[in-house]
């Protein structure tokens, strides 16, 4: 991974003005998605370089009036072309960035694109769901343990309802495991709180 590419993405994300929860760092999300994508590549195969670069660039674009994947794909193509990087893999990288949110679209997409879709979806599912819900609750009026519990229960139901969105067998397996972690934690939390 080229050092200047990492710095470029970090700077572009910091400056693109996309709103987010105050505790959520989108560059940190990007690096976690890259980690999930590498795990999925080890299980599913696919071109590791395409996957690593696409994961790094997947959330680089933002525009209030246009789909963020489209903007990100343009930025990715322009940057890599100007730098003369990964030219033989450019189309595969740009496809993955351009379609990272299109879980409802049939494609057909390259395996690398399916892995980026799943990797993006896997982030903040699991223990991070509970961390997110705790921080989110703390920022609302009257935060409490039971308020966190109630909010996390809603998150769990939502996560379960989205299990069919995963596109690779390994993504589905990891997702189910992460959802189980949330379910187990909430079972114990319910017990500990005497609810
Ligand atoms: Fe995105
Ligand atoms: Fe993302």
Which pTM value belongs to this model?
0.96
Please give all residues whose CB falls under 5 A of ion ligand 2, grouped by chain where several chains appear.
Answer: 59, 120
The total of other beta-carbon atoms located within 10 Å of residue 1's CB is: 9
Reply yes or no on whether the pLDDT at 1 is more than 80: no
Question: What distance in angstroms lies between residue 40's CA and the mean position of ligand 1's atoms?
Answer: 18
Mean pLDDT of 54-61: 97
Query: What is the residue-averaged pLDDT of the chain?
Result: 96
Which domains does the chain carry? 3-120 (1.10.3210.10), 127-193 (1.20.58)
Residue 117 to residues 76, 78, 166: CA-CA distances in angstroms? 17, 22, 8
Contact in structure between 20 and 59 (CB atoms under 8 Å) = no
Distance 29 CA to ligand 2 centre (A): 7
Site of tokens 């509970």:
130
The model's pLDDT over 151-174, given as tens digits with 9 standing for 90+, comes to 999 999 999 999 999 999 999 999
pLDDT digits (tens, 9 = 90+) for 83-140: 999 999 999 999 999 999 987 677 899 999 999 999 999 999 999 999 999 999 999 9
Ligand sitting nearest the alpha carbon of 30? 2
**Cα–Cα distance between 35 and 13 in angstroms, integer?**
18
Mean pLDDT along residues 8-21: 93
């Amino acid at each position: 991974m080229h050092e200047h590419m990492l710095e470029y993405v970090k700077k572009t994300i910091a400056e693109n003005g996309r709103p987010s929860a105050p505790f959520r760092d989108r560059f940190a999300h990007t690096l976690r998605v890259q980690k999930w994508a590498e795990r999925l590549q080890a299980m599913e195969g696919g071109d590791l370089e395409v996957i690593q670069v696409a994961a790094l660039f997947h959330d680089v674009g933002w525009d209030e009036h246009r789909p963020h994947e489209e903007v990100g794909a343009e930025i990715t193509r322009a940057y890599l072309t100007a730098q003369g990087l990964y030219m033989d893999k450019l189309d595969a990288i740009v496809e993955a960035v351009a379609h990272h949110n299109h879980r409802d679209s049939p494609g057909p997409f390259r395996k690398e694109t399916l892995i980026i879709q799943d990797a993006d979806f896997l982030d903040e599912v699991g223990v991070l769901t509970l961390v997110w819900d705790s921080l989110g609750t703390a920022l609302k009026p009257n935060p409490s343990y039971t308020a966190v519990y109630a909010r996390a229960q809603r998150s769990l139901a939502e996560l379960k309802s989205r299990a069919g969105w995963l596109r690779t067998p390994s993504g589905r397996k990891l997702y189910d495991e992460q959802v189980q972690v949330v379910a187990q934690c909430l079972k114990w939390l319910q017990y500990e709180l005497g609810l």
